[in-house]
Amino acid sequence: MRRNYCALKTLKSRITRYIIVNFQFVHLQHNKYLLIIDSPPRSLRSFIDTLYDLIGFGVFVSPLKLDLKLLLSMIKKSLKPVSVRLKKIKVSGVQISEKTSATIDLTSIGNPISDLDSSFDLSKTTLERMKGTLIRGGISTEIELSKNGSFMYSDNFHEELLPIIKDYKIFGTPQAPYSK
C-alpha cells in the first residue's frame, strides 16, 4: 500500500497596521504645553513612545489631573448663560460609616450630585467621572469628563471650552473666582 504525503508550505505574510492619531499641542506658558488628542486609541503607550522617539530628550508627558467640581464651576462661570445637566456621576470616598467608604455610580434624570449630597457628606469625596449635556445659546453637546484628564465634547464647543482648560491648567486650582 502506497501512501501519499503532502508537504505543507509555510507562508509568511507581513501586515502593516497604521494608526492615525489626530493631536495638537497648545502652548500654556513658558515650556508647558497641553497635548490634545482627538479620538484617542485605547492605549496611548505606543503614541507617547513615538513622541519621545521623535522629539527626544527634554520631553515629559504626564496625565492631566482634573478637579471636576472646580472645572464644572469654571465652565458655568465662564460660559454664562449656560445650562449643565448631569446624567451620570461616579464619586469615590463616600463615607458610609466610620470604617467604611464607597465608590458610587449614579444615574439620574435630576441632579445626581444634589441627590447624593442630601444623603451623604460630600466634602471629602472625589468626583471621578461625570457625564451630561451642556446647553448654551440653543446649541447642546454631550460632555464627559474624568479626573484622569479625559474631556470629551463635540467640536462646536471647542473654541469656548479650550480657553477654560488652559486657564485651569495654567492657574491650577484657584480659590477665586471659581470656588463655590
Give pLDDT tens digits for 20-47: 888 888 888 888 888 888 878 788 888 8
35 vs 173, residue with greater confidence: 35
Taking a C-beta distance cutoff of 8 angstroms, is the pair 143, 156 a contact? Answer: no
Rounded to an integer, what distance in angstroms lies between the CA atom of residue 1 and that of residue 172? 85
Closest CA to 131 of 73, 82, 68: 68
Least confident of 3-7, 13-17, 22-26: 3-7
When the pLDDT of each residue in the chain is averaged and rounded to a whole number, the result is: 82
Taking the whole predicted model, whether its pTM rises above 0.75 is answered as: no
Cell of 175: 480659590
pLDDT in tens, 90-108: 999 988 888 998 999 999 8
pLDDT of residue 1: 63
Tell me whether the omega of the peptide bond preceding residue 81 falls within 30 degrees of 0, making it cis: yes
